[in-house]
Amino acid sequence: MTTCFEGTTFCIHTFGCQMNKHDSERVAGMLEGLGALPVATIEEADIVVFMTCCVREAADTRLYGQVASMKNIPVREGSPLDKRYIAVGGCIGQRDGEKLVQQLPHLDVVFGTHNLASLPALLSGAIERSGHAVEVLDGGADFSSALPTTREHAWAAWLPITVGCNNFCSYCIVPYVRGREKSRPLEDIAEEARRYVEAGVKEITLLGQNVNSYGRDLYGEPRFAEVLDALDATGVERLRFATSHPKDLTDEVIERFGTLRSLMPALHLPVQSGSDRILSAMNRRYTREHYLGLIKKLRAVVPDIALSTDIIVGFPGETEEDFMETYRLVEEVGYSQVFTFIYSKREGTPAAKLQDDTPREVIQERFDRLVDLVQRKAYEANQGERGATVPVLIEGTSKRDGSILAGKSPKNQTVHGPLPAGLTAEELVGTIVPMHIDEARTWYLSGTVVDG
């Protein structure tokens, strides 16, 4: 089974969330383990894997377009294979299965969110029999932790603690493509974390659609605070997690921001809307008041915690007054970052059946107004950092200038600064260095490395 990958090259195109990025690292780990070589572009690759997302329509359409446009690309010169092989996995693979090969006959392999580990066998099947190989399961081996991983960065690791989602927010396709929530045993999580720390990982990000409900299926009650305790005890320097549902964020977890050495002062807490009427139609199961109460508690523990959120503009039936409730909430909270989305109708979700007659231009105008506010508030939030000295985890150099270091502050802000004399970027990558913040812009801070 392994032989057909020797001497081949592959590239992975990943769309969507961190869970997909993590799954891509597992795919890379498997293919490299079988003798395939990673390359950066489709042109150089014999095997192209798409890890897909169907949360919004735009990414969905783009995937179909991109695969369609690959129909006639000639085989790479020197390729040991007879043609270029294309595999589609992730959420669109899970949702569309056979339909993908019917619409895109030159597609070779389709796999879903539950059978990542089958990809090598599906690919070798397609290569050896030169036919399609489609496998989508309803559930199954959900934690790919036993699979090899090629991590994007040696100093950072993503660690899934739950997969799937039980929340059924009315607009969201995720519970239909990722399945019901399943938690991974606490001992397995701690064991994987310990291995990472021993291997030199500085930052671990716990992943799950709703990490706060971790453990409910396994232990009958949420035990996320205990996961945080166990991770802190591994000695990891930086601990983060995503994503949290406001209805499940407990006082216990909030307290951990004050007590755990490694837990970074930053939290992503998606609000989606500031209007109770819309929150109820979205089936979010909390109110604006509850959400603002959480923010208050968090700030009582960590006064300058960096908060980020997701907001959907233009949910069916959203009025100007509903939108203004969201606008005022953003003004009041003062987020460091807001991911703003225009509502996208997803077939099969309850919201797809709602009457949706707000004109497109009205929604776009609201969206633009919100984006302006978000930028202003992000700029304001960053000003507080000027003059401070913060520990920065160096990730590399600026995309535009190789002599400018780029890294992340504890609050997850991007920090840029000149490479100190006598040092190379390679020496600093993956280390945490103190930087004095000289300038604060909307999306990044500028600083200077100071002697620790």
When binding is defined by CB under 6 A, the residue of 64, 176, 341, 444 that contacts ligand 5AD is: 341
Q: Who's near 67: CB < 8 A, 6+ residues apart?
A: 50, 86, 88, 104, 107
- Give yes or no for residue 343 binding ligand 5AD (CB under 6 A): yes
The tokens of 63 are what?
A: 């995937």
In the bound state with ligand 5AD, the residue whose beta carbon lies nearer, of 223 and 268, is 268
In angstroms, how far is CA 43 from the centroid of its own chain? Answer: 27
165 is in an annotated binding site: yes
Residue that has been written with the tokens 């192209």 in this structure: 48
Measure the CA–CA gap between 322 and 314, rounded to whole angstroms. Answer: 10
The tokens of 195 are what?
A: 């291995």
Measure the CA–CA gap between 437 and 409, rounded to whole angstroms. Answer: 10
Residues facing 108 on adjacent strands? none
91 is in an annotated binding site: yes
Residues binding ligand SF4 (CB under 6 A)? 165, 167-169, 172, 174-175, 209-210, 245
**x/- letters, 78..97, toward ligand 5AD (CB under 6 A):** --------------------
User: Residue 272 Cβ, how far from ligand 5AD at the closest point, in Å?
Assistant: 6
* Interface region with ligand 5AD, contact rule CB under 6 A, candidates 25-33, 64-72, 192-200, 341-349: 341-349
CB atoms near residue 117 (< 10 Å): 16
Measure the CA–CA gap between 136 and 113, rounded to whole angstroms. Answer: 8
Q: What residue 344 binds from ligand 5AD, ligand SF4, none (CB within 5 to 8 A, per partner kind)? A: ligand 5AD
Burial class of residue 27, CB neighbours in 10 A (0-12, 13-18, 19+): buried
How far lies 365's CA from each of 69, 86, 287, 307, 344, in Å?
33, 39, 25, 25, 16
* Interface region with ligand 5AD, contact rule CB under 6 A, candidates 23-31, 336-344, 387-395, 434-442: 336-344
Angle at 396 between CA 441 and CA 426, to 5 degrees: 145
4 is in an annotated binding site: no
11 is in an annotated binding site: no
End-to-end CA distance of the chain, in Å?
A: 52
17 is in an annotated binding site: yes
- Give yes or no for residue 134 binding ligand 5AD (CB under 6 A): no
Burial class of residue 94, CB neighbours in 10 A (0-12, 13-18, 19+): buried
Q: What residue 158 binds from ligand SF4, ligand 5AD, none (CB within 5 to 8 A, per partner kind)? A: none
User: Residue 124 Cβ, how far from ligand 5AD at the closest point, in Å?
Assistant: 34
In angstroms, how far is CA 448 from the centroid of its own chain? Answer: 30
In the bound state with ligand SF4, the residue whose beta carbon lies nearer, of 206 and 394, is 206
Q: What residue 175 binds from ligand SF4, ligand 5AD, none (CB within 5 to 8 A, per partner kind)? A: ligand SF4
Show contacts with ligand 5AD in window 37-56 (CB under 6 A): 55-56
User: Residue 159 Cβ, how far from ligand 5AD at the closest point, in Å?
Assistant: 19
The tokens of 177 are what?
A: 């493509």
Beta carbons of 350 and 310 less than 8 angstroms apart: no
* Interface region with ligand 5AD, contact rule CB under 6 A, candidates 37-45, 127-135, 152-160, 340-348: 340-348
Beta carbons of 109 and 126 less than 8 angstroms apart: yes
Site residues (CB under 6 A) for ligand 5AD?
Answer: 55-56, 171-172, 270, 272, 310, 312, 341, 343-344, 346
Binding-site residues = 17, 53, 91, 165, 169, 172
Binding-site residues for [4Fe-4S] cluster = 17, 53, 91, 165, 169, 172
